[in-house]
Amino acid sequence: DGNVLNENNEIIPGLHAAGEVSGGVHGDNRLGGNSLLECTVFGTIVGKKIPIKPRNSIQSNNLQQGGGGAADKPAELRNISTDELQHHNTEDDCWVVIHGLVYDLTDFVDEHPAGPESITELAGKDGTEEFQAVHGENILEDFDPIGTFVPV
């Protein structure tokens, strides 16, 4: 179930674990040796059991509080074509489409925890499928899109 136990073997409410920290499905002898597949599979199983409170976005809070006027709206994003996107396909100029929005990830490439290759191989392309396989959409909250992808 992914529950974390205290030193008395009692469940610590609200604390869950999967993957490396749990020692793996084969026990303590695998500590630090789990495969990525085990982490992903069991992490997903545990994650689906954890209740998550819904979040209100800033936009919906503004609307509820009477905001949402022209000054509160984000600037309209420009359209970016397939041809333009494909020109930004290197580590030094790295644009990636995720969920229909274009992100300039050039400055983030070297900071990416999984390494730069997982981003640079998507440079100049739609990386939505690859992104969804390992990230939740909320991770994009720290990034501002530079445009809307218009595949023409």
List the alpha helices (DSSP H) in 21-137: 36-49, 58-64, 82-86, 117-120, 128-134
Query: Residue 68 has what pLDDT?
Result: 42
Query: Residue 29 has what pLDDT?
Result: 46
pLDDT tens, residue by residue, 15-49: 877 766 665 555 444 445 556 666 667 677 777 77
More confident residue, 1 or 124: 124
pLDDT at 105 over 50: yes
Per-position DSSP letters for 19-51, written without gaps between them: GGGGT-TT-GGGTT---HHHHHHHHHHHHHHS-
Structure tokens at 134: 């390992």
Q: What is the mean pLDDT of residues 102-122?
A: 92
Q: Which long-range contacts (CB under 8 A, 24 or more apart) does 142-147 make?
A: 143/103, 143/105, 143/108, 144/103, 145/77, 145/101, 145/102, 145/103, 146/77, 146/78, 146/80, 146/95, 146/102, 146/103, 146/104, 147/77, 147/78, 147/79, 147/80, 147/101, 147/102
Q: Can you give the pTM of this predicted structure?
A: 0.54
Query: Residue 64 has what pLDDT?
Result: 40
